Amino acid sequence: MKSSIFITRKLPEAIVKSLEHHFEIKMWEEEDTPVPRSVLLKEIQDVEGIYCLLTDTIDEEVIKGAPNLKVISNMAVGFNNIDIQAAEQQGIVVTNTPGVLTETTADLTFTLLMSTARRIVEASDYLRNGNWDTWSPMLLTGQEIHGSTLGIIGLGRIGEAVAKRAKGFGMNLLYYNRTRKFEKEEEIGIQYADLDTLLKESDFVCVMIPYSPKVHHFIGKDELALMKPNAIVINTSRGGIVDEEALYESLVNKQIWGAGLDVFEEEPVSTNHPLLSLSNVVTLPHIGSASVNTRLKMAQLAADNIIHVLNDKSPLTPVNS
């Protein structure tokens, strides 16, 4: 008999086909709405695999509600939506999709950095709104990118890929990481700094750490207070790492110059959110990995992880490897 799995969102046809070959599939058939909690709890009761997204909260209640569960496959590199400890206690394998999205997410991070520094969204709106009367000396002037200092907090795969892009733009590089990465310092040409030094010296502070409760509001009032008046904060990791209220205050008080945010403490972020009222903030709807190619690769890797585990093979990318 085939194992059964539940897929929490409508996936591209080709991905579903690759899973149908192995499993009985139940799938939430909507593409743009997360599965309601009540449906999730009902559908997982007898499945051996859950294929989920970062919008699904897979907590202890869900895990305990699926006594046959062997694998939870998250179509994301981040997995703070899953209670890893509860899964481990039940002997359930949890997998994510690292690697395949590294370069694409680094591209978006750099796009956001440049868009914020050079006020791209504001400038485009300015033109479209009919405000462009003449070229003028200081119109829509932003911050320099080349020659400036980029501070990367979290030199993981994506942080490193961002650093390589920055090198091409002639930026100076600092990083802060829990453990120092000597070999990377030489390979990339990046310098280690303690957190305070990085915050004080960087023109751009790029947050590239995975979310866990331990790093909740890692960048808060005190950290923002150390930054330069021309500093720009970029976050493409997870909301919650940067304290949004403190960030808003520091932007309004001109303690720092701007921010580029792809992620928010609550997603989707409300259009009434104070940060969205500021012209020096560039905001995106969590699209770091959103290229057609990469999303398909993530979807396939998430599928392959389930296929491996339920066929008694080692998972390709377990989260705790």
Residues in contact with ligand GLV by the rule CB under 6 A: 54, 76-78, 98, 101-102, 156-159, 208, 288-289
Residue closer to ligand GLV, measured from CB, 66 or 158:
158
Distance separating alpha carbons of residues 188 and 230, to the nearest angstrom: 25
Residue closer to ligand GLV, measured from CB, 158 or 227:
158
Residue closer to ligand GLV, measured from CB, 3 or 237:
237
> In DSSP terms, which residues pair with 232 in a beta bridge?
204, 258
On whether the CB atoms of residues 176 and 208 are closer than 8 A, the answer is no
Nearest-Å Rg of the Cα atoms of the chain is 21
- For 227, other C-beta atoms within 10 Å of its C-beta total 23
Residue closer to ligand GLV, measured from CB, 158 or 241:
158
Distance separating alpha carbons of residues 271 and 273, to the nearest angstrom: 5
Rounded least distance, CB 236 to ligand GLV, Å: 8
Rounded least distance, CB 95 to ligand GLV, Å: 12
- Of 278, 275, 202, residue with least CA distance to 233: 202
Residue closer to ligand GLV, measured from CB, 125 or 187:
187
What is residue 62's three-state secondary structure? helix
Residue with the CB atom nearest ligand GLV in the bound state: 156
Residue positions annotated with a catalytic role: 238, 267, 286
Beta-sheet pairing, 204-207 with 4-7: unpaired
Distance separating alpha carbons of residues 257 and 279, to the nearest angstrom: 11
Rounded least distance, CB 229 to ligand GLV, Å: 29
Rounded least distance, CB 160 to ligand GLV, Å: 8
- Of 177, 158, 172, 176, residue with least CA distance to 263: 158
On whether the CB atoms of residues 50 and 44 are closer than 8 A, the answer is yes
